Structure 1
């Protein structure tokens, strides 16, 4: 029976990956920063640890699934007390490339940190004789706990107002469902072709930012009134906030409304057999997905 060590089991992707691992016959060691009651599933065990602090000693594992911070995983790996690691499948982000030239210094630092973490993870996995794969997703949705699309949807469901961009928002987006990322993660763990590979992962459809918002509105399950947000006005607001906290980040976000933030899925489709869904969210996408590992 293969053994998986899952970091970030309670996050967006973990909520969909864990049932798939169990269905496929894996034994799961799931990391938690705090002690949890024993799992009701016989093949799931919680282990307590912190990637940035004290980590437990582990038995040999067939795969480490890094669904949490990539720099934390890369930092833990050199000192990992583990009898053996067969392979590492870890999530980074397309921000590693899309934010390298951002006008916001903190976003440029994020991109640099992601790229450095990818390189460190690859080097340490190779030193340990473990296969490795890095997955770079675009905008993640579907588990109801993201900090990008879900807050917009919940605001609209409460207020019955939905933002509609005017005079902009033509940059393409490629939102990807967390469940599809879990599928890609398991496929990468099974594929020999995925060793020493970095896969961009976007959803099955590319939409202008404004059209993406409209798709969200259509699937909310409640009627809403459009709340016009003129993009030129947002740009002016960003200029007026210059010098204040978050001003550069706001300006960078507004400028990205005109940029295409997409991923080329060709390699993942060809080598992993991946087939992500089109962006047709319903109301369930904005509610927290159930955790299968509750005690």
Structure 2
């Protein structure tokens, strides 16, 4: 028998930058999809140019499909694709499917519903084909230096050497490292205990939003002036900036979530996968984009 074959969608994203090298080290042949033309630097890796929306070239038989990108696009693709064999489906979702469901911001509540619809669509498509499937709902992801949440804040603080201290932001967060999510994906391969399940996954620590930001700033290699900012001042500043930065300043629901607990009940995932994610202890290199394989 030859090496097992994996199709990795979203290979150049946060989790893909950790998952693909792990698969290659484990002896897998990896078909990695990318919108941009890329050159493979490993004999076990083949880049496929394209995406789920514009289409992919016909695929050979694969043993596993890892969906690390938009779940809605993957669910639609899976429902209409012509697959050979019965690959195991491992897809990443988001805890926003639950945390933003009751948001008073209509865009956020629509996002939550679209995530839930995508999960249902994936389940339906997989069941109709007799495919084993698992969805991992993730909390805030960091670690590859290309996230849109903590890495931009680290870069802003590095550039301006000043950053607000939000002592009022007491809502708990549970950041999870992209490398640990890659490990969770690998642990799910061939694990019948997680077939047909949606599992919540997060990091090892739950800490207040304000403490999470403090650790980001503490990880930087230079001193950063921290300026205390209360909720009223932050609300005023965001309101004043919004007309000048359309689409870039979050709405009022963002401020409300700073006091909300956005964590994952991930005991089941840890038990079934035998998975032990790391605590939140970033260093300066955490915010540097991880190179592609």
User: With structure 2 as the length reference, what TM-score do the two structures score?
Assistant: 0.94
Paired positions, count: 290
- CA separation in 1, counterparts of 2:231 and 2:287? 25
Aligned to 1:199: 199
- CA separation in 1, counterparts of 2:36 and 2:213? 37
Aligned to 1:271: 272
- CA separation in 2, counterparts of 1:172 and 1:3? 39
For 2:286, what is the secondary structure of its paired residue? helix
For 1:17, what is the secondary structure of its paired residue? helix
- CA separation in 2, counterparts of 1:250 and 1:237? 12
Alpha-carbon shift at residue 74 of structure 1 (Å) = 0.4
For 1:61, what is the secondary structure of its paired residue? coil
Alpha-carbon shift at residue 247 of structure 1 (Å) = 9.5
After superposition, what is the alpha-carbon deviation per residue over 1:235-262, rounded to whole angstroms, capped at 9, x for unaligned?
Answer: 3445668999559942010110010000
Identify the match of residue 32 of structure 1 among 29, 34, 47: 34
After superposition, what is the alpha-carbon deviation per residue over 1:146-173, rounded to whole angstroms, capped at 9, x for unaligned?
Answer: 011001101111111122114x100000
User: With structure 1 as the length reference, what TM-score do the two structures score?
Assistant: 0.94
- CA separation in 2, counterparts of 1:76 and 1:86? 14
Aligned to 1:151: 152
Aligned to 1:254: 255
Aligned to 2:124: 123
Report 1:226-241 matches (<5 A): 226-237=226-237
- CA separation in 2, counterparts of 1:192 and 1:247? 43
Identify the match of residue 10 of structure 1 among 12, 17, 22: 12
Assess, with a 3 A threshold, how the Cα gap between structure 1 residues 248 and 149 changes in structure 2: closer, same or farther: closer
For 1:190, what is the secondary structure of its paired residue? coil
Alpha-carbon shift at residue 36 of structure 1 (Å) = 2.1
The gaps in structure 2 that reach 5 residues or longer are none
- CA separation in 2, counterparts of 1:151 and 1:107? 21
For 1:85, what is the secondary structure of its paired residue? coil
CA RMSD after TM alignment: 1.8
After superposition, what is the alpha-carbon deviation per residue over 1:126-147, rounded to whole angstroms, capped at 9, x for unaligned?
Answer: 1111100001110111100001
